[in-house]
Amino acid sequence: MVAVLSALGVTAVLGGCGVTGGSDPVTLRLVAADYGDSAGNSSKKYWDALVEAYEKDHPDVRVEVSVYSWTDVDRKVKEMVDADKAPDLAQIGAYADYAKADKLYTASELLSITTQANFLPQLASAGAVKGEQYGMPFASSTRLLFYNKDLFAQAGLQPPKTWAELKAAAAALKADGVKFPYALPLGPEEAQAETMQWLLSGGGGYTDTNAGIYSIDDPENVKTFDWLKSELVGEDLVGPVAPRSLNRADAFEAFTEGDVGMLNGHPTLMKAAEDKGVKFGMVPMPGEDGPTRISMGVADWMMAFKQNGHAEEAGDFLDFVYEDENVLEFSRRYDLLPVTMPVWDVMSEAKEDAHLKPFLEALPTSELYPVGRTSWAAVNAEIKKKIGGAVAYGGDPATVLGELQARASKEETAE
């Protein structure tokens, strides 16, 4: 999931938009996630302005927007669906289970051909279940290796390009007394992200994209975690907190305090570090023989439920949501990456988006979680629970990855 901070539960009832042409307005209910870190920049303000602009030209549809924190939003939607009160639209973290249960409209039933064609191809593909797109990407991000420029300068280091250089840099940082030479967050909060970035850097991943199956215990992945266990964790280069107990949020906070030499991060870490006066650089994740060509990508999803039968109205509103100026406004407001090619082109060239350029460059070739598989939710939870044990004292990467593969295969069979 893309990073979020605030915890609001505010419902805004906004009036008058539509495509029906009838006298009785249709009401669309949208549940959305909050990307802000305070009431002042809550996503509620974004949706308020967007709906107000839409309603001026569409007097026959009302749009009710409820904004919740990421802690609550997926649960809220599930509760609504379970109670047979599904919203018309939901902007949340996962769609596959609802698609499998035949509760969603397809993108082609909703969107104009232009809107569909504008999505970045790998994001549109990640929104598909068995070749049919149900999840419409709404926000995205990629991961890069962040490094503390001051700590690197003090140690006479250049940013690493290979695993060997990363290890050497971590050893030098440790010798200088850096608390976390390389922060390796494999705790339960977001272990699946750190894991995937490392698997990609070793030439592997969660799935074999050609065969379309899980490949968690493939030799490349075992080799990657063997290296992590022996060369980083085993050499005491990851800091005082065991990776299985270190969460992403805690690693990020330590970086903003100047206690981390290197870690994988996404765009929101930039502002947090800048606010604390930490000077940082960003480079592609080092690989075994050179910089990783494929970064990990993440997307959050928009979906439309069929229960209320408002495909025409929902589709017209979504065409507006995905207009270039609206995608650009949202992306810039929250330092997120755009999900459409026209806006990616704009941001890749604009001076005001220069700070996002490394992430933007990584997006077109990024690889996303296998979110189109209904099995992914269970596999994801199992990775968070177990992967830290692969690098723990006495742990065995091949055994842990094998157990994860067995669980993934079992869940896949049950789909």
- pLDDT tens-digit readout, 25-41: 899 999 999 998 778 88
Instruction: Give residue 2's pLDDT.
Output: 44
pLDDT exceeds 90 at position 369: yes
Instruction: Give residue 212's pLDDT.
Output: 76
Instruction: Give residue 36's pLDDT.
Output: 87
User: How does residue 181 score in pLDDT terms, banded at 50, 70 and 90?
Assistant: very high
pLDDT exceeds 80 at position 1: no
In 257-365, which ranges are continuous DSSP H helix?
268-275, 311-321, 324-333, 341-349, 357-362
Return the structure tokens found at 77: 């939607």
Instruction: Give residue 150's pLDDT.
Output: 98
Please state the length of the chain: 415
Instruction: Give residue 300's pLDDT.
Output: 95
pLDDT exceeds 60 at position 149: yes
Integer CA distances (angstroms), 67 to 20, 32, 95, 139, 365, in order: 26, 5, 18, 15, 31
**Domain boundaries of the chain, sorted by first residue:** 9-141+298-368, 144-294+375-414
User: How does residue 23 score in pLDDT terms, banded at 50, 70 and 90?
Assistant: low
What does the alpha-carbon distance between residue 108 and residue 133 come to, in Å, rounded to a whole number? 8
Of the ranges 37-41, 152-156, 354-358, 382-386, which one carries the lowest mean pLDDT score?
A: 37-41
Give me the mean pLDDT over the 108-122 stretch.
Answer: 97
- Mean pLDDT, rounded, of the chain: 92
Please report, rounded to a whole number, the percentage of residues in the chain having pLDDT higher than 70. Answer: 94
Q: What is the DSSP string of 251-264?
A: HHHHHHTT-EEEEE
| 49: β partners | none
pLDDT exceeds 80 at position 101: yes
* pLDDT tens digit sequence for 273-308: 999 999 999 999 999 999 998 999 999 999 999 999
User: How does residue 415 score in pLDDT terms, banded at 50, 70 and 90?
Assistant: low
Return the structure tokens found at 69: 């924190």
Contact 293, 365 (CB under 8 A): yes
Give me the mean pLDDT over the 356-380 stretch.
Answer: 92
Best CATH choice for the domain 9-141+298-368 from the list 3.40.190.10, 3.40.50.720, 3.40.50.10780, 1.10.1370.20: 3.40.190.10
Give me the mean pLDDT over the 107-124 stretch.
Answer: 97
User: How does residue 413 score in pLDDT terms, banded at 50, 70 and 90?
Assistant: confident
User: How does residue 209 score in pLDDT terms, banded at 50, 70 and 90?
Assistant: confident
pLDDT exceeds 80 at position 127: yes
pLDDT exceeds 70 at position 6: no
- pTM value is 0.86
Of the ranges 1-10, 218-227, 293-302, which one carries the lowest mean pLDDT score?
A: 1-10
- Of residues 212 and 139, more confidence is placed in 139
Return the structure tokens found at 204: 């592997």
Instruction: Give residue 12's pLDDT.
Output: 35
Give me the mean pLDDT over the 76-85 stretch.
Answer: 96
User: How does residue 250 score in pLDDT terms, banded at 50, 70 and 90?
Assistant: very high
Instruction: Give residue 143's pLDDT.
Output: 95
Instruction: Give residue 388's pLDDT.
Output: 97
pLDDT exceeds 60 at position 17: no
Domain spanning 144-294+375-414: which superfamily? Answer: Periplasmic binding protein-like II (3.40.190.10)
- Of residues 345 and 2, more confidence is placed in 345
Integer CA distances (angstroms), 170 to 144, 225, 229, 259, in order: 17, 17, 14, 13
Q: Would 9-141+298-368 and 144-294+375-414 be classified into the same CATH topology?
A: yes
Instruction: Give residue 157's pLDDT.
Output: 98
Contact 145, 284 (CB under 8 A): yes
